[in-house]
Chain A
Amino acid sequence: AQKITQTQPGMFVQEKEAVTLDCTYDTSDPSYGLFWYKQPSSGEMIFLIYQGSYDQQNATEGRYSLNFQKARKSANLVISASQLGDSATYFCAMRENTGTASKLTFGTGTRLQVTL
């Protein structure tokens, strides 16, 4: 089974609009972390936002917020007031603990295109 599922391979959003990128996860570990990264066409991986499984409030970082619904195992990224520079591929990732090791597993990504 997929650990991280991003069902939207590509999306379009108009500049200044808000957009939600979906992410669902699968784990039996009670302690885990969820991350979102942005990868522009230049290729680098940029950390955006983090949500811990025990965090009571949804994480926010500027125009980014994470809609964390623990019972539904979803961690959707919301980008408000989209800008042209937001065009990139966005990856959801989960860290879970497996014994003494800990792995970060990435989804397949959502390619976002912001249009005028």
Chain B
Amino acid sequence: DAGVIQSPRHEVTEMGQEVTLRCKPISGHDYLFWYRQTMMRGLELLIYFNNNVPIDDSGMPEDRFSAKMPNASFSTLKIQPSEPRDSAVYFCASSPYLNQPQHFGDGTRLSIL
């Protein structure tokens, strides 16, 4: 079975550029989560969706960050404009129900120069 698929695996770009991270959840999973992992702050939940609707975006750092889920099989996390402090590994995860384990993608390693 295909797991959570994220793209790209690595992204290096200059500050000020727009960055778009993509995620395809596991088919049939109604919940989708975006996390950010840094050495300083560990793993942080940014936002999560239920049936394509954003439920909690309190973890989104600021207005430069936005996330969408236009359909059940696709989500994007966009940073515009990007800054060096956005450099991190961004994970997407999905689960069938809220109290079920979340299955993570391999992450996108983002470097903003």
Contact = CB atoms under 8 A, between A and B. Distances in A.
Contacts of B106: 43-44
A95 B99 CA distance: 7
Contacts of B102: 35, 47, 104
Contacts of A52: 99
Contact of B98 (A43, A47, A91, A102): A102
B43 A95 contact: no
Which of B43, B55, B106 gathers the greatest number of chain A CB atoms within 10 Å? Answer: B43
Contacts of B45: 103-105
A107 B37 CA distance: 12
Nearest to A105: B45
A44 B98 contact: no
Contacts of A106: 42-43
B70 interface: no
A101 B56 contact: yes
A108 B42 contact: yes
Contacts of B33: 104
B103 A47 contact: yes
A45 interface: yes
Interface of A: 33, 35, 37, 43-47, 50, 52, 91, 95, 100-109
Given A44-B105, A104-B45, 14 more contacts: A35-B101, A43-B106, A43-B107, A44-B104, A45-B91, A45-B93, A45-B104, A46-B104, A47-B101, A47-B103, A50-B100, A101-B55, A102-B56, A109-B42
24 contacts: A35-B101, A35-B102, A37-B104, A44-B104, A45-B93, A45-B104, A47-B101, A50-B100, A50-B101, A52-B99, A95-B98, A95-B99, A100-B55, A101-B56, A101-B58, A102-B56, A102-B98, A103-B45, A103-B56, A104-B33, A104-B102, A106-B43, A107-B42, A109-B42
